[in-house]
Amino acid sequence: MQSVHLITVFILFILGCSSPGTLPTVAADEAPSASTTTTFVFGTRGGHGAETYLRLKDGILYRSAYAGLRTNDPDYAFNSDDPAGDESNWERIGPAPAEANDLATSFPEEAFAQLQETDNCPALAYDGSCPLVGVGEGRAYRSYFGDFAEQAEVAAYMERVGQFVTGQADQ
C-alpha cells in the first residue's frame, strides 16, 4: 500500500514539472499584438541549430549575440526565459531600417492567431531553415517558426521575414 502512495506522489510530481528551457504558455487573450508592444524578433532557424535573429525594439535594430552560431550548443545558448527582453542576447546595430518597421506594422495578428501550431518547418528534415517571428517580451513572448505554406497570408509574411533577415545577415 505504501508503494502505491509513493508511485502516486511520483506521478503527480512528474506531471507538475515542466521541461527546462521551455517558455511558459500564454493564453490567447494574453497574446501580444503589434499595437501593444514594440518588440519584435525576426530570424531564421536552421538545421544543426544554426540561427540568426534580429530584434526591433523602440526603433532600434539589434543582432543576436550568437548570430550564425549553433545555439543548441550550451556555450552559445540563447536565453530561453526571455529571448526578446534579455539584453545579454543582443548587440545594437543602430536605427532600424524602414523594412524592419514595415514588418512590425504589417504583422498580420489575426492570421497568426488562427494558426493551429506555432512551428511548421518541413525544411528542417533536410537541414534547411525557416523564418521565425517573435512578438512581445517575458511571459507574453510568442514565436512562430516555419513557412506555413497552407496559410497564404502568414506564408507571405514569413517569406518577407526570411528575405529581411537574409539581407541583414549579408551586411
Task: Give yes or no for residue 3 having a pLDDT over 60.
Answer: no
* Residue ranges covered by each domain of the chain: 24-169
pLDDT at 81: 62
Least confident of 1-5, 6-10, 66-70, 95-99: 6-10
Task: Give yes or no for residue 89 having a pLDDT over 60.
Answer: yes
How far, in Å, are 36, 96, 106, 152 from residue 131 at the CA level?
Answer: 23, 19, 16, 15
The residues, any chain, with a CB within 8 Å of residue 53's CB and separated by 6 or more, are 41, 42, 43, 63, 64, 67, 78, 83, 89, 132, 165
Tens digits of residue pLDDT in 56-84: 999 999 998 776 666 556 665 555 666 77
Average pLDDT estimate for 146-162? 94
pLDDT at 27: 38
